[in-house]
Amino acid sequence: CAPGDEKYACDVDLNMRARARSPPVVSSRSGSGDAPGPFYCGPKTDYNGFTGHWSFEDNKEIFQSAKQNRLGRTDVQGCCFWGRGSVPIKGTCAYGKLNYYLGKRAADEGRQAMFPDIDFCQNPGAICHDKHPDLKWIVGFFRWITEIQEYDVGDFNYMKQLRKYVDDGFKDSDFIDSVSGIVSQGCHTPPCIEGAQFLREEKRANFVKVLKMLGFSVP
């Protein structure tokens, strides 16, 4: 959690089981179109203690041996808080903050709640459920307001850089890279996660496309 946000964090239920409704969006290095299956989580007893790993070289999942992630984990016990929403939130702190302001915790503590019947800590997959088709978009706006607009790290303050980008006539592609990095990897100098892909030109093109669709004159 960010300093001061520890109070929001969800308690982790090690017996929770969940499976994503669709596979993650990745690019195959071989161009074959193969990709990892949907994310899932569950107790270690469900999969003999380790999950295997995805090989981008062979475009298949390897189950014969364990491979540690950046945190030294080889299992997905309690790891149910993956990215969900139009601008994905992820992690126990982000889901806990969502629950604190919009979910069941807000209602239980006497605050107005948009979704008083949803405990996002106990049911993170509710974001993608058909019962609330607008929820994935609300979650995206929530993350944008609480994390992206508030981003102020090192020499990059989002609001100041946004004003500069607009005042300079939408010409600085570095701003697009920085915002894309904050959204996808949590930093303004991507790539900042070892082994992670950062499709710079694709992200720039999409950003400019949306601005033009909104009627802005972009170089």
Encode pLDDT of 45-94 as tens digits: 998 888 888 887 777 888 888 888 888 899 999 999 999 999 999 999 99
Encode pLDDT of 143-192 as tens digits: 999 999 999 999 999 999 999 999 999 999 999 999 999 999 999 999 88
Q: What is the residue-averaged pLDDT of the chain?
A: 90
Residue 154, exposed/middle/buried by CB under 10 A (0-12, 13-18, 19+)? exposed
Encode pLDDT of 13-43 as tens digits: 999 999 998 877 654 444 455 678 889 999 9
Residue 214, exposed/middle/buried by CB under 10 A (0-12, 13-18, 19+)? exposed
Comparing 31 with 201, which gets the higher pLDDT?
201
State how far Cα 11 lies from the chain centre. 19
Q: What is the pLDDT of residue 60?
A: 82
Reported pTM: 0.86
Residue of 190, 187, 217 lying closest to 203 (CA atoms): 190
Maximum Cα–Cα distance across the chain: 56
Question: CA distances (Å), 198 to each of 24, 47, 170, 187, in order?
Answer: 15, 31, 21, 12
Which residues lie below 8 Å from residue 103, measured CB to CB, with a gap of 6+? 113, 115, 116, 118, 119, 120, 121
CA 44, CA 75: separation in Å to the nearest integer?
A: 6
Q: What letter does residue 9 receive in the DSSP assignment?
A: P
